[in-house]
Every structure is written in C-alpha cells, then in structure tokens.
C-alpha cells in the first residue's frame, strides 16, 4: 500500500540526533506543517531544529490528495453562522495568502504544480450550496455556481472556486527540505518544559512547535477532547477520465476527484477512524461501474485530524504553555 507520491521518488537523507543540543526553536514533526515552518524560520534567520521520529513526510502528508485551495468543503457558511463575518473573512484572507505563497514557491520547483478550478458538489442538498454562495458573497468572494459537474455522479449543483491548484506534495517538500536543519529517526518521547527527550540526546529550546499531526503532549491542551480522526481511501486509476478540475463532495462520506498526469485519483469510502466505512471496496465498485476500462495503479489510505468547529487549531498549545505552539485539525 504505497501512495502514488511515495513511489519512485528520491528521498533526501538527514542525520539522527546523537548528543544534547540547544536551539531557539524546536519543531517536532517533519510533515508539511513542520517542514514549511522550518523553511520560513530559516528564511528569516531564526535558529531552529526539526526532529522527526522516522523519515520526513512519512505521515499523512505522504498520503494526501494534494489539492491546494482555499475552498474547504462548505466551510464559509458554517464559520459565518458560528463566528460571524469578520472571522469568516479572516479565514478566507489567511488561506488566500497561503495559496498565493504556494504559487510563488512552486514557480521554482518541479513539483507538477498546475492551476485547476475546484468544485464542492452536493448530491442532495442544493440549499447548502446556495447558503455557501451567499456566505461567500457576504465576505467579498465571488464564487461561481455550477448546475452540473462533468462527473458520473448525480448532483444538485456545485460551488466553484476558479484557478485553484494541485501538485505533487513530496516533490515540493523534498525540494524545500534540502538545506534545512533536520534530524530524522529522532523520536521525541517526552517534554520536560521546553526540553525534548529523545533516545540519544536532549534538545533544549526556547520555543517549541508541535507539528506531529495529532498534538502528542496530553498533559496540556486536551486535544484528545477536541480532535477526532477521519480515515479516507484513495485509488489511482489509469485509463479512467480527465475530469478537468478538482472535485469534492460536501458530505464527508462522499468522493473526491483529481488527475495527476494520466491518472485519476478517486478518494472516498471515508469513516471516523475505528468505525466501519465503505473503504476501497466502495471506490472499486464505483470504478468498475463508471470506468470499466480503467486499471488500478495505486491504492492507499490515511487519516486526518478533524476539529470540532471546522477550524484548524493553530497557535498557543495551551494557556499554561506560553512557549509551546501547535498546528493541527486541518479537516483534510
Ligand atoms: C486522504 C486524505 C486526503 C487529503 N487531501 C488533502 C488535500 O487535497 N489538500 C489539503 O490541503 N489537505 C489534504 N489532506 C489533509 C492533509 O494531508 C493533512 O492535514 C496534512 O498532511 C497534515 O500534515 P502534518 O504535517 O500536520 O502531519 P503529518 O504529515 O502526519 O506529519 C507529522 C509528522 O510528525 C512525526 N511525529 C509524530 N510524533 C512525533 C514525535 N513524538 N517525535 C518526532 N516526530 C513525530 C510523524 O512521524 C510525521 O512525520 C488530506 C488528508 C487525507 C487523509
């Protein structure tokens, strides 16, 4: 079960920690969050170290579907209702800024970066789509309503964000990781204040950024009460279809579609981790019915941390840990 991204790619190598060290900022975890954080700290000259327990990008990041968009399901109407227009607009602008930054960085990296329209479709609830359109209009973003999408699913319409993007996540991340201060095979077993204890050395730091996907320090923050895991399955099909964009069902158990080269990535079968779900069988049944001449080239599965209010948790780890930060709950 190797994801398309993990197949046939040259991985950069990094040493493991063998002695006690000191740094300004310790980043724990070498997925997309840890690596981007390290990259930006390096850019502004802040001394830092990144500790990764295995190889970088060995977690969820290596098993994503890698769509870069500021359209995250039908999130804007939800935020508008629960937190008001100001917060919904801040969320939009922050994500637009991140989107622009990806575009800038990808210009100089051979990582299959391509602009594509992104669609969130619904199979049954047109009102939800209309509410999202009016929430977006209220916070100043002009989305497009589409009556149909070129997919073999019956829909009642879709909300489209023009000119979003897709890429090969590991080509991008392995490129930016070159030259960063990374220790691989360096498992942070315990934190004593802002000192990390690993198997062969301690890392003393002024600040700590926990980028471990699920924030692993349970003494603070109570993330075990605020996050749950949701698992999704992916198959990559040859001889399926060029769907001409990126598509996701507004319903968490629905399908998502994007192409990579000649492959169609079909994702879905999702369920809360530990519960039953459609998994690959559901995807394979769909492929057999609608893409009967296709061949499955890759299959994989991964889970992501889901937050209770559909907003990621990024910032202070907890009130009582002013030197510690977390970033999690990206809701896929
Ligand atoms: C099927 C699927 C499709 C998705 N599609 C998209 C998409 O299209 N677009 C999008 O933006 N997002 C998507 N997501 C979400 C996105 O992929 C994840 O939110 C993101 O990759 C999480 O990155 P991360 O760096 O937080 O975690 P990870 O990639 O899991 O990295 C965490 C790292 O921390 C390390 N670590 C953990 N504990 C320790 C420790 N104690 N000491 C040292 N190291 C440690 C792990 O080994 C790991 O390498 C998708 C998710 C899934 C599951």
Pick the atom of ligand 1 nearest to 198's CA. 42
Q: Is residue 188 a contact partner of residue 215, using CB atoms and an 8 Å limit?
A: no
User: Mean pLDDT over residues 194-200, rounded?
Assistant: 97
User: Mean pLDDT over residues 207-226, rounded?
Assistant: 96
What is the pLDDT confidence band of residue 277, given thresholds at 50, 70 and 90?
A: confident
At 176 the pLDDT is 98
Lowest mean pLDDT, pick from 79-88, 165-174, 272-281:
272-281
At 148 the pLDDT is 95
- Gap between the Cα atoms of 198 and 191, Å rounded: 9
At 48 the pLDDT is 98
Ligand 1 centroid from CA 66, angstroms = 11
Pairing type for strands 202-210 and 324-328 reads: parallel
> Which residues, in sequence order, are CB contacts of 45 under 8 Å at separation 6+?
none
CB atoms under 10 Å from CB of 148, counted, come to 11
DSSP assignment string, 72-141:
-SSHHHHHHHHH-HHHHHHHHHHHHHHHHHHHHHHTTS-S--EEEEEEEE-SS-HHHHHHHHHHHHHTT-
User: Mean pLDDT over residues 195-199, rounded?
Assistant: 98
Ligand 1 centroid from CA 329, angstroms = 10
Q: Name all residues whose Cβ lies below 6 A of ligand 1.
A: 28-34, 51-54, 58-61, 64-67, 187-188, 211-213, 216, 232, 234, 267, 302-304, 330, 332
Q: What is the dihedral of CA 296, 300, 301, 302, to 10 degrees?
A: -140
Would you say residue 187 has pLDDT above 90? Answer: yes
Would you say residue 278 has pLDDT above 90? Answer: no
Ligand 1 centroid from CA 212, angstroms = 8
User: Mean pLDDT over residues 42-63, rounded?
Assistant: 98
> Which residues, in sequence order, are CB contacts of 254 under 8 Å at separation 6+?
123, 248, 268
At 76 the pLDDT is 98
Of all residues in the chain, the percent with pLDDT exceeding 70 is 100
* Domain architecture of the chain: domains with CATH: 4-64+171-213 (3.50.50.60), 69-165 (no CATH)
Nearest alpha-carbon partner for 95 in 136, 63, 64, 57: 136
Ligand 1 site-directed mutation target among 50, 60, 183, most atoms within 8 Å of CB: 60
- Gap between the Cα atoms of 147 and 144, Å rounded: 10
Pairing type for strands 144-146 and 158-166 reads: antiparallel
At 203 the pLDDT is 98
pLDDT digits (tens, 9 = 90+) for 112-161: 999 999 999 999 999 999 999 999 999 999 999 999 999 999 999 999 99
Would you say residue 276 has pLDDT above 90? Answer: no
What is the pLDDT confidence band of residue 1, given thresholds at 50, 70 and 90?
A: confident
* Sole residue written with tokens 């997925």: 31
What is the pLDDT confidence band of residue 296, given thresholds at 50, 70 and 90?
A: very high
Pick the atom of ligand 1 nearest to 303's CA. 53
Pick the atom of ligand 1 nearest to 51's CA. 43
């Amino acid at each position: 079960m190797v994801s398309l991204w993990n197949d046939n790619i040259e991985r950069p190598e990094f040493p493991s920690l063998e002695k006690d060290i000191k740094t300004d900022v310790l980043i724990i975890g070498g997925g997309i969050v840890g690596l981007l954080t390290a990259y930006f700290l390096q850019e502004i000259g802040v001394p830092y170290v990144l500790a990764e327990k295995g190889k970088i990008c060995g977690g969820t990041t290596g098993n994503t579907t890698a769509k870069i968009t500021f359209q995250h399901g039908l999130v804007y109407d939800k935020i508008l209702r629960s937190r008001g227009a100001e917060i919904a607009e801040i969320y939009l602008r922050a994500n637009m800024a991140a989107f622009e930054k990806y575009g800038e960085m990808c210009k100089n990296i051979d990582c299959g970066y391509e602009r594509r329209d992104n669609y969130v479709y619904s199979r049954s609830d047109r009102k939800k789509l209309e509410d999202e359109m009016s929430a977006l209009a209220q916070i100043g973003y002009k989305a497009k309503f589409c009556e149909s999408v070129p997919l073999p699913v019956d829909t009642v319409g879709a909300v489209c964000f023009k000119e979003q993007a897709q890429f090969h996540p590991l080509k991008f991340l392995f490129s930016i990781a070159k030259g960063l201060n990374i220790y691989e095979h360096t498992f942070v077993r315990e934190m004593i204040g802002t000192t990390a204890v690993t198997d062969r050395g301690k890392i003393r730091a002024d600040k700590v950024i926990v980028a471990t996907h699920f924030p692993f320090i349970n003494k603070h923050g109570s993330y075990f009460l605020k996050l749950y895991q949701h698992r999704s399955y992916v198959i990559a099909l040859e001889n399926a279809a060029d769907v001409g964009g990126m598509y996701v069902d507004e319903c968490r158990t629905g399908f998502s579609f994007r192409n990579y080269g000649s492959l169609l990535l079909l994702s879905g079968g999702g369920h809360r981790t530990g519960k039953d779900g459609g998994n690959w069988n559901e995807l394979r049944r769909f492929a057999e019915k609608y893409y009967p001449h296709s061949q499955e080239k890759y299959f994989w599965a991964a889970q992501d941390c889901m937050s209770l209010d559909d907003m990621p948790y990024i910032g202070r780890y907890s009130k009582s840990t002013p030197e510690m930060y977390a970033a999690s709950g990206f809701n896929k």
